[in-house]
Structure 1
Amino acid sequence: MSGAVEAVQQCLIAALNAHQPLMSVITGIYDGPPPRADFPYIAMATGPALDWSFKGGTGRELSLALSVHDDGTSAERLHRVMALVEDALAGGLADGGGWQVVTFGFRRARVLRSAVSPWNGLIEYRARVLQKPAPGA
């Protein structure tokens, strides 16, 4: 993975952590599904990182996914958490880690559940970022 992925994930997590209504209903945000966590929680996932460079600079197009997990008897709370995630990220992301966020937007969401597992909601975003020139370059 590139530094772009890490930088954008940190900005995304900061935006989620700053959204108090979301943080008041989830137990945490994790890099992946934790072995033992109380529901509901969010786990990060990373999709493909594609080249988005141009002649004068380095760029990446990133696919970012947030997986929301809940053990409720219905999907009501899961849908509420997913809506709060979308609210938290509606304003986009700040630049960070030497990368400028050029575009950031919602791609899709879906809810899944099997008979033997908790509710899972997947929310996907796309970010296009450009590497900022090093100071003095």
Structure 2
Amino acid sequence: MSAGIALAAAVLVALQDHAPLRGQVNGIYLTPPGRATPPFVLLGEIASIDWSTKTEAGREIRFAVLVREEAERAERLGSLAEEAEAAVAAMPRDIEGWRIVSLALQRSRILRTEGPWTASIEWRARMLAA
């Protein structure tokens, strides 16, 4: 399994298994939902580059977790984003076919849009083949 697919699956499970987050949102999705009502969590874009050594295959993967909330309830967005961040930070480091050797928060921001507000939590994972 590719590193990106394995990581996406592991992040999704970590978010779904995090009870404080799961209990406050209407859904946690891998792909954009058709008619989901905020608040919900969505795995954002995933970018992957080579991070191999002379002896081991490796990938550096940058990804985002997006939390969407209604404009009228935007005050809740910060706490939802904190729970999403905690879920990813606590995820297991051994995933299918790969070992996460470094998982670092890169940036967290809140984007004000005309529709739902979005919290974007951006991560960098460095992984070696298991």
TM-score exceeds 0.5: yes
Give the match for residue 77 of structure 2: 78
Give the match for residue 126 of structure 1: 124
In the superposition, relative to structure 1, how do residues 28 and 47 fare at CA in structure 2: closer, same or farther (>3 Å)? same
Q: What is the count of residue pairs matched by the alignment? A: 130
Say whether 1:30 aligns with 2:44.
no
SS of 1:125's partner is strand
SS of 2:31's partner is coil
Give the match for residue 96 of structure 2: 97
Q: Tell me if the contact between 2:38 and 2:69 (Cα under 8 Å) persists in the aligned partners.
A: yes
SS of 1:35's partner is coil
| Structure 1 segments (4+ residues) deviating >4 Å | none
Q: Which one has the largest radius of gyration?
A: 1
Give the match for residue 44 of structure 1: 43
In structure 1, stretches of 5+ residues that fail to align are 133-137
Deviates more, 1:72-81 or 1:18-27: 72-81
Of Structure 1 and Structure 2, which has the larger fraction of its residues in helix?
Answer: 2
Write the deviation string for residues 51-106 of structure 1: whole angstroms up to 9, x where unpaired.
10011011000001011111141421111100111222233433111011111121
In structure 2, stretches of 5+ residues that fail to align are none
Q: TM-score, normalised by structure 2?
A: 0.91
Rounded to whole Å, the distance in 2 between the matches of 1:89 and 1:66 is: 9
Give the match for residue 2 of structure 2: 3
Q: Tell me if the contact between 2:38 and 2:116 (Cα under 8 Å) persists in the aligned partners.
A: no
Q: Tell me if the contact between 1:93 and 1:104 (Cα under 8 Å) persists in the aligned partners.
A: no
- Give me the identity figure in percent: 36
Q: TM-score, normalised by structure 1?
A: 0.87
In the superposition, relative to structure 1, how do residues 66 and 73 fare at CA in structure 2: closer, same or farther (>3 Å)? same
